Amino acid sequence: MDILIQQVVSGLATGGIYGSVALALVMIYEATDIVNFAQGQMAVVSTYIAWSLLNAGAPYWAAFLATLAISFVGGLLLERIVIRPVEGAPVLTVVIVCIGLLVILNSVLGWIYSYIQKPFPSPFPDRPIRIGNVYFGAHDVGALAITVLVLVALYAFFRFTTLGLAMRAAAQNPASSRLCGIRVGWMLAIGWGLASLIGAVAGMMVAPIVTLDPNMMAGILIYAFASATLGGFTSPGGAVLGGLIVGVIENLVGTYVHFIGTELKLTVALAVILIVLLVRPSGLFGRAAVHRV
């Protein structure tokens, strides 16, 4: 029983990581209607910025906030400079530009910082929390809390603010949005900025666990995609929940289904998602696209 609980707990911890990155993915999808393959790499860039600030002696939370600000502006500028020229081009063209961005950022980071992984501090205590025979990593709990906090903030932003509403509108129907006086280009840019900011949070929460290197997000991004798919790409809450579910399923399958063991754990996790998609083609919490004939 203890091991079951411990596996669930550690699954939740890992799932929290997936969820936070998935949240950033969903966010940019909601705000810009594209899936940004460079999302994870942007988060790594943000984390390196934080690392540099910390290394220069900045206190943690100051560096944290500064990183958020820089990331927001950075994401905004990336959209204005890199993505804008292909605004209105076919979706796949934009996807390729994102892939280009991904490899550029990865390569440049490796060039500047080398590929050696760097320890990254956690704002939470080092000592694990122990309840009975089950251990909770303090950082895991803290990171999950921050993810949920970001989620709530996002929900409020999109639900209750005019800017949030305008961003959703711009992503759904750019032409009509213009007719409402919405500056669609800027909405997309703000969307990128926000997604980049969320990515920064995710990056800074992930880095203490997996250590910082330019490829830090590569594996996580895969799981984040899976989580977002499972939860439904149109649902931020679903993305976080999807992450937690993937984390837990993966651990339980790896532990209890012996002929699969850890070797095919990813495959099984993916198969589960596939099955979910077949039953609910827009993910667990996603919104089905409206079709009218």
Partner 1 sequence: MPSRALRLGLVVVLAGAMVLPFVVTNFRLFQCAQVFIYAIALLGLNILIGYNGQFSLGHSAFYALGAYTTAIMIDQWSVPYGWTIPVAGLLCLIAGFLFGIPALRLEGLYLALATFALALAVPQILKYFEHWTGGSQGIVLSKPAAPKGVPLNPDQWLYFLTLFVLLVLLVLARNLLAGRTGRAIVAIRDNPIAAQAMGVNTALYKSLTFGVSAAYTGIAGALSALVIAFVAPDAFDVFLSITFLSGIVIGGLASISGAIFGALFIQFVPNWAQDISKAAPWAIYGVFLIGFMYVMPRGIAGAVRLGAARWWRRRAEPS
Partner 2 sequence: MALLEVRDLEAQYGWTKVLHGLSFAVEEGGITTILGANGAGKTTTLRAVCGMVKTRGEVRFDGRAIAGRATEDLVRLGIAHVPEGRGTFVNLTVEENLRLGAYARAGRGSLADDLQAAYRYFPVLAERKRQLAGTLSGGEQQMLAVARGLMLRPKLLLLDEPSLGLAPLVVREIFRIVRTINQEQRVSVLLVEQNAAMALRLADRAYLMETGRMVMSGSASELREHDTVRRAYLGY
Partner 3 sequence: MLKKVLLLMLMTAFGLGMLAPAGAQTVVGVTATEIKIGNTNPYSGPASAYGTIGKVIGAYFKKVNEEGGVNGRKINYITYDDAYSPPKAVEMVRKLVEQDQVAALFQTLGTPTNSAIHKYVNQQKVPHLFVATGATKWNDPQHFPWTMGWQPNYQTEGKIYAQYIMKNFPDAKIGILYQNDDYGKDYRKGLHDGLGEANAKKMIVMEQTYEVTDPTIDSQIVNLKNSGANVFFNVTIPKFAVQAIKKAHDLGWKPAHFLNNVSSSLATVLKPAGVEASRGLITALYMKEITDPQWKSDKGYQDWVAFMKKYYPEGALDDQSNAFGYTVAHAMTQVLKQCGNDLSRENIMKQAASLKNVEFPLLLPGIKVNTSPTDHAPIEQEQLAKFDGERWATFGELYDASKK
- Binding footprint of partner 1 on the chain (CB under 8 A): 29, 35, 37, 82, 85-86, 89-90, 92-93, 95-97, 99-104, 106-108, 110-111, 222, 225-226, 229, 233, 263-264, 266-267, 270-271, 273-274, 277-278, 281-283, 289, 291, 293
Binding status of residue 176 toward partner 2 by CB under 8 A: yes
Give the three-class secondary structure for 282: coil
Binding status of residue 161 toward partner 2 by CB under 8 A: no
Going by their DSSP bridges, the two strands 129-131 and 134-136 should be labelled as antiparallel
Nearer of residues 24 and 167 to partner 2, judged by Cβ: 167
Question: CB under 5 to 8 A by kind: which of partner 1, partner 3, partner 2, none does 258 bind?
Answer: none
How many CB atoms sit inside 10 A of residue 103's CB?
12
Q: How far is CA 221 from CA 6, 180, 224, 228, in A?
A: 24, 36, 5, 10
Binding status of residue 13 toward partner 3 by CB under 8 A: yes
* Cα of 68 vs its chain's centroid, Å: 14
Find the shortest distance in angstroms from Cβ 175 to partner 2: 6
Phi, psi values for residue 134, rounded to 5°: -105, 135
Binding range to partner 3, per CB under 8 A, among 24-32, 109-117, 167-175, 234-242: 109-117
Residues 204, 68: Cα–Cα separation, whole Å: 10
Question: CB under 5 to 8 A by kind: which of partner 2, partner 3, partner 1, none does 277 bind?
Answer: partner 1
Binding status of residue 271 toward partner 3 by CB under 8 A: no
Structure tokens that stand for 101 in this block: 């961005």
